[in-house]
Structure 1
Amino acid sequence: MIGWGFRPTAKKAQNYAKKHNLRYIALEDGFLRSIGLGVEGYPPFSLVVDDMGIYYAAEKPSRLEKLIADCNLNNEQARQSHQAMALIREWQLSKYNHAPCEPIDTEHKNQIVLVIDQTFGDMAVQYGLADENSFRQMLQSALQENPDAEIWVKTHPDVIAGKKRGYLTDLLDQPRVRIISQDINPPTLLSQVDKVYCVTSQMGFEALLQGKEVVTLVCLGLPVGA
């Protein structure tokens, strides 16, 4: 049986598989998904296919987790892996690839800290052992731990498109906080910041690929990149 991740709409397929002693295979958008947004009808160029769990579910093993744990690359495979990561950086690839590669205008001379919001009700939040309060704690931690920094809060592309709402939308009445609500290529944005805070967003993993310091407290959630 095949279903879309661990969403409520997949419960029927999961229950049927369990009842009839069948494997349940979870599908999800791939990490390099598409040019445009899925909520605007752009088809995915990649899919995650998992017969054990799904990568964002922290309490259940996933096929991706097992592949990484059992990985023993030879020299050629290691070279290809590093080459693939270098190409991702060179071409500034991300999950969605529609946004312009134009840096944010800023006159701030000190440290810039990026806080990543997510769409409200995201399965990666629920199954990453996080909740609405995790985002409040993340923003507060970023402000307290970086007193001289300007805090940039990145709004999710689906929120920018008007399709969904975010967790931090109503929590941004802070003089040091700047909302990044325009569409911008994520690697371009990451190149402008010194540190990144995330709950379970894939952009935290992308920040690691860019060599950035990423902060995700255990109490906030368990992202795949952790």
Structure 2
Amino acid sequence: MRGSRRPAIFFGFRPWRDYVPRWFPDRDCKVVSSKPRDMLRGGWPLRLLLYRSPEVYVWGFKYPPFLKSFCRCLRIPFYHVEDGFVRSVSLGAQRSPPASLIIDSRTLHYDARSASDLENTLQTYDFAADRALMERADRCIRMLLDLRVSKYNLGKRVSLDALLGPKTKRRVLVIGQVETDASIAFGCDRAVTNNDLVRLAASENPNAQIIYKPHPEVLYGTRSGVSDPAEVADICEMLKEDIAPADALEGIDHVYTITSLMGFEALLRGIPVTCYGMPFYAGWGVTSDHAANARRNRCLMIQEIFAAAYLLHSQYFCIDTAAPVALERIIRSLAIKSGTATGVEAGAN
């Protein structure tokens, strides 16, 4: 049986090596190190020549550049893999496995330097003709909002009013990110820090209350920041504990982000969003953009972007067994595990 499956070599998947065979049950999977020294010692990538019709999968950008060039020269299929948009209850840095993956044959969805499979779909797909897809997208969006499910689902449930006092003026939420993250490195055409974003939001909204939400991994200490929040403490209110995205977005009038997915979650709630960088959802007419992308010259609706990203280009896996499942089941499962849904809500179709 094993010999009848196509060989697939996975680089950069060491944290998830036990999950890979369950994510790709129709492949003969081999997980190897992506470090150049280990690859050369192990005879990679030349060992690929020993396999019949192999495929190569890499996690994020955790691979040496020569690997992709080698595969292109020999016409070996090469795929980028990254966390999906509805991921888990805990953080990836805490070794919580993802409940969704995005697999792209061109580049990662957050790499604005060139077109990904997702970007090409957004540029060309006839969403109006696919009524079933759009109806499903509407249902899934409603589920996400009703059950308060996000990418990560571990923040504290508390209202901004309880933390900051009653709302007396416009509230502008600044979404902090891990400043060394690849989504910033490949999604921005110039250097930027979270503090830069706070200052931008304050300068463009002089009469608003500026609220700064640091990234959960920075708050939990699993990743380090670059800028010092104390330097902008005089122009913003900083949330010093991890607040669940649904609660942090409640009552917000505008969101500022570099490339964070939370910006898209704000759009799903009808909140205007300003992007400093070029995440997958920017450049289509639904955001106010400080960057430009000449390739993205089509106007889309938020529901269409959701349909492409969350339904057409994401794969979902059972949290407990890693077996393939539908997005609807993942939303319900994460709602139950994070405690954001009642039994009635979680069981609803």
1:80 pairs with 99, 121, 136, which one? 136
In the alignment, residue 91 of structure 2 is paired with which amino acid? L
How has the CA–CA distance of structure 1 residues 196 and 167 changed in structure 2, closer, same or farther, with 3 Å as cutoff? Answer: farther
C-alpha separation between the residues in 2 aligned to 1:155 and 1:86? 27
**Match of 1:5, as an amino acid?**
G
2:264 alignment partner, one of 205, 212, 224: 205
Matches within 5 A, 1:50-199: 50-73=104-127, 74-104=130-160, 105-107=163-165, 108-133=167-192, 135-170=194-229, 172-199=231-258
Counting helix residues as a fraction of each chain, which structure ranks higher?
2
Q: Does 1:33 align with 2:87?
A: yes
| Stretches of structure 1 lacking an aligned partner (at least 5 in a row) | none
Cα separation, 1, equivalents of 2:116 and 2:230: 34
Identity %: 29
Name the stretch that deviates more: 64-73 or 47-56.
64-73
Asked if structure 1 preserves the Cα contact closer than 8 Å seen for 2:199 and 2:232, the reply is no
In 2, distance between residues paired with 1:35 and 1:76?
Answer: 29
Cα deviation digits, residues 75-107 of structure 1 (max 9, x gap): 222211111111111111111012232212222
1:49 is displaced (CA, Å) by 0.6
Structure 1 residues 106 and 118: CA distance shift in structure 2, 3 A: same
Distance in 2 separating the partners of 1:19 and 1:46 = 30
Once the two structures are TM-superposed, the CA of residue 134 in structure 1 deviates from its matched residue by 5.3
Gap change, CA 1:121 and 1:38, over 3 Å in 2 = same
1:24 aligns with 2:72: no
What is the rounded CA distance, in whole Å, between the counterparts of 1:10 and 1:36 in structure 2? 29
Q: Secondary structure at the match of 1:17?
A: helix
* TM-score when normalising by structure 1: 0.89
Partner of 2:68: 14
Unaligned runs of 5+ in 2: 1-55, 283-349
CA distance in 2, matches of 1:93, 1:12: 39
CA root-mean-square deviation:
1.9
Decide which of 93, 100, 122 is 1:46's aligned counterpart. 100
CA contact (8 A) 1:3 1:13 kept: no
Which whole-Å deviations, capped at 9, do the CAs of 1:132-167 have from their partners, x for residues lacking one?
Answer: 435444222211111121111111111111011234
Is the 8 Å Cα contact of residues 136 and 171 (structure 1) preserved in structure 2? Answer: no
TM-fit CA distance, 1:112:
1.0
SS in 1 for 2:217: helix
Judged with a 3 Å threshold, the aligned counterparts in structure 2 of structure 1 residues 180 and 99 are, in CA distance, closer, same or farther, namely same
Equivalenced residue count is 222
Scaled by the length of structure 2, what TM-score is found? 0.59
